[in-house]
Amino acid sequence: MNSPALRAVSVGPLIERARAYLHQDDCERLKAAYRFSDQAHLGQYRQSGEPYVSHPLAVAELCTQWRLDVQALMAALLHDTVEDTTATTEEIRERFGSEVAELVDGLSKLDAVEFRNREEAQAENFRKMLLAMARDVRVILIKIA
């Protein structure tokens, strides 16, 4: 049985990749962010049947290829918790710090932007959105991962 819904989701591969360049303390913080995200998304599934947490985990794993810092990796794991669960930005701030909360907030704002139909207006809106919201380039890197 190899159905996506039956595949275990594990933080192990992410931690192994992160250990290549992060300190052990940072890896522990990363595990804590994963546990929070996993718990927040408990009972949520992707259309494929996989647990929802498989998505933020995959995003974080991609971010390790760019050697993003621990705050960015934590934000990648937490990026949908504020939008799709009962978690709040303030809760993220209290548990994981202001920097992680700001990254998560920036990612949420990127998702909130709606574009007009015309291609030119869409391109201009996208340019303005990047300038206005990307106070931290890591927001964009996490988003494109």
Taking only Cα atoms into account, the Rg of the chain, rounded to an integer number of angstroms, comes to 16
Active site residues: 83-84
